[in-house]
Amino acid sequence: MAASPALEAPETVDRQGRRWFYRHPLVIRLAHWINAAVLLVLLMSGLQIFNAHPALYWGAVSTFDNPALAITSEQGPGGANRGVVTVGAHSFDTTGILGLSRDSGAEVERAFPSWATLPSDQDLATGRRWHFLFAWLLVINGAVYLAYGLFSGQLRRRLIPDGDQIRDFGGSVKEHLRLRFPEGTEAKRYNVIQKLTYLVLVLGLLPAMVLAGLAMSPGMDAAWPWLTDLFGGRQSARSVHFIAAGLIVLFVVVHVLLVIVSGLVNNMRGMITGWFSLGRDRETAR
């Protein structure tokens, strides 16, 4: 399906023969950077909250003797303390990273170290305030992004793969594995992997994380008891919330790495100014 003329973004050629494409409208750029800042605060304050009880369970209640995941510390065979991550029946030594870290030169038993949490000191009440405030900022920013995307047509252009892209999915995977990225006119649109990834993120992971967070709220439980049942219990909702957050962190790490290898300056300029370089125009360069 061809894009309607109203959805075509402007393109220009400068004196050096370089083609420029207006890739990211202002609302998209603002939503992107607000999301980046909000998600960072949510992650750090969320780790502060998790530190208060560093274990995850499935079901409605905490089964303290049999967590699905736990980050703790214990005394090793030689008498020294060590950090331990337990997943089901398997345990891993994570000393210095998780469970046991150094803070001001002293060993501290904490699931996540102080540099990764907000605030850095163990303070559950303040962590919750930060988390709840920025959770609503995430929801508001997401609602603005979705509304703008629907009415402007940007949502379809950015999240829904075109027919030719779906047919060439395998080829796109091979190109990504070889770190070869679209150039010229093809770079004017997101490729199929980008679109499907953003689709899962925007319409899957982020809503799941928000709904699971709401399901843990006593106030929301009283108003919408079905929400907790939807996740199979409050502890299951907490686990889903944590897993969704972890997958979003993984997405951000991969996203940043791909931004770097596919052209850091061009990508950053595009997300700051909106203008993305498509390279030299062959006709003008002759």
pLDDT along the chain (286 residues), means of 10: 45 82 93 96 96 92 86 82 90 89 78 92 94 95 94 90 88 87 81 92 94 89 87 93 95 94 93 88 47
* Spatial distance between the Cα atoms of 252 and 39, rounded to a whole number of angstroms: 10
* Domains of the chain and any CATH numbers: 5-54+113-285 (1.20.950.20), 66-111 (no CATH)
Which pLDDT score, from 0 to 100, does residue 60 have?
85
* Cβ 62 vs Cβ 79: under 8 Å: no
Q: Which residues contact 220 (CB under 8 A, 6 or more apart)?
A: 214, 227
* Cβ 12 vs Cβ 20: under 8 Å: yes
Which pLDDT score, from 0 to 100, does residue 29 have?
96
Query: Is the full-model pTM beyond 0.85?
Result: yes
In 34-105, where do the E strands start and end? Answer: 55-56, 69-75, 81-87, 90-93, 99-103
